[in-house]
Amino acid sequence: MAITGAPELLIVMGASATQEQVDEVVARLDEAGCSALVTPGREATVIGAIGERELLATLPLEGFAGVEQVLPILKPYKLVSRELSPDPTVIEVRGRRIGDGYFGFIAGPCTVETREQTLETARAVAAEGVTMLRGGAFKPRTSPYAFQGLGDEALEILKEARYETGLPLVTELMDPRHVEAVVEAADVIQIGARNMSNFSLLSEVGRAPKPVLLKRGLSSTVEDLLMAAEYIVKEGNSEVILCERGIKTFETATRFTLDIGAIPVLKQETHLPVIVDPSHPAGRRDLVLPLARAAVAAGADGIIVEVHPRPEEALCDAAQQIPTSEFGDFADEIRALASLMGRTIG
Ligand code: PEP
Ligand code: MN
């Protein structure tokens, strides 16, 4: 359900607070014309109080039995903040998980080009036990003359790949007119870097019944990314995976500058899972593994990488896709490092 208004106050209940005590606080907020967002946690229940800050300040919430602390939420993002929900969010799709110890290993072609190329890639990545299959049907291309993706035909090919391998699908939604088709086919809806600030599209996927993989905009700050996620969660869809994919800087030696620092910062600021795309910032295949290693070591909850059976023939991002023949070695490295970081492939 869409959330009207932002939680302004956090009411932290004591570890031994009873359900009745939680209900009393909620009833008091209700009575005052405010509302409550109750998040039961491992340690304690946290109640987000939604309403005018001035009005909330007049309520004697500290005095209620079971209440330990009342704190204002000062950050502009509320629903996605760690304060509101101290326990990490786990996204579960067709029995695969991402977040809180589950490492999301997402792999597949940049773009669905042909049925054979997609099925070949899907089989190769499935054989390595990845979590999900990626593949673009609608592609955001810098040039209007470049291959724009196979659209609906690609969605059908992806569904066939899922049917054969059992892997959940991640595919990008670019246009509100494609919502129905993409939401129907995808298990996770990708919002690409170029659409991170397309607020009407964000609200649209906020009303969709599928998790969203939200990529950081090319020139967006960490706060911009969190505010974009807030747009989605505000509409009622709390299943959002954040993705650092590199930003534009003065540096040209790599395609984009992978902001490794964003990973621990995001992990502190939000309860949502944070994954990394090492392929697009690398721009060339020899840099994908080092960037992926850095991401895992920095605490990412997963990676999303591009794989192609014959990258030299790829219609999009040819230089950065990992050949299927080399994916086994790549996956070995990722699995070992993820396990060293205490993660299980989800
Ligand atoms: C992609 O994942 O294929 C893609 C286009 O990524 P980004 O939106 O990060 O550029
Ligand atoms: Mn790509």
Residues 180 and 216 in one domain: yes
Task: Give the CATH number, domain containing residue 167.
Answer: 3.20.20.70
Range of the domain at 210: 91-345
Euclidean distance between CA atoms 109 and 294, whole angstroms? 22
Residue 99, ligand 1, Cβ within 6 A? no
Judge whether 110 lies within some domain.
yes
Domain contains 156 = yes
Q: Are residues 48 and 131 in the same domain?
A: no
**Residue 81 located in a structural domain:** no
User: What is the tens place of the pLDDT at every residue in 308-329?
Assistant: 999 999 999 999 999 999 999 9
Per-residue model confidence (pLDDT) at position 254 = 98
177 and 303 fall within a common domain:
yes
Whether 68 is in a domain gets the answer yes
- Kindly state whether residues 61 and 105 are assigned to the same domain: no
pTM for this one? Answer: 0.96
- Out of 72, 99, 120, a domain closes at 72
DSSP string, 246-308: -B--S--SSSSB--TTHHHHHHHHBSS-EEE--HHHH-SGGGHHHHHHHHHHTT-SEEEEEEE
Q: What tens digit of pLDDT does each residue of 59-86 get?
A: 999 999 999 999 999 899 999 999 999 8
Across the range 126-148, mean pLDDT stands at: 97
CA of 185 to the centre of ligand 1 (A): 19
Q: Same domain for 197 and 324?
A: yes
Span 287-315, average pLDDT: 98
Taking the CA of residue 140 as reference, the ligand 1 atom at the shortest distance is 5
C-alpha 140 to ligand 1 mean position (Å): 8
Do residues 53 and 123 share a domain? Answer: no
Q: Are residues 150 and 268 in the same domain?
A: yes
Quote the number of domains for the chain.
Answer: 2
Same domain, 54 and 197: no
